[in-house]
Amino acid sequence: MTSQNSHRSEVVHDSLRVFLDDLAARAAVVLSEHINAGNHCAACGLTWPCSRAVLADHNLEMAHP
């Protein structure tokens, strides 16, 4: 019973790691496109920092603190 529980938690941990790595990879793509171009975002044209860049920055910090 104990070994089953241990195995189960490893699987959950691996899934979380994969999820966070994927999150970080997608956040990095957003941050490479949504860049500051004279106080406006180069991708969406909103006032810098745009909401997508802020969100991606938070995601990156969460994935790799």
Check residue 27 for interaction with Zn ion (CB under 5 A).
no
Kindly write out the interface string for residues 32-51 of this chain, putting x where it contacts Zn ion by CB under 5 A and - elsewhere.
--x------x-xx-----x-
Query: Smaller CB distance to Zn ion: residue 23 or 31?
Result: 31
Cα angle 56, 59, 62; round to 5:
155
Measure the CA–CA gap between 52 and 43, rounded to whole angstroms: 10
Q: How far apart are CA 15 and CA 21, in angstroms?
A: 10
Residue 18 CB, shortest distance to Zn ion, in Å, is: 27
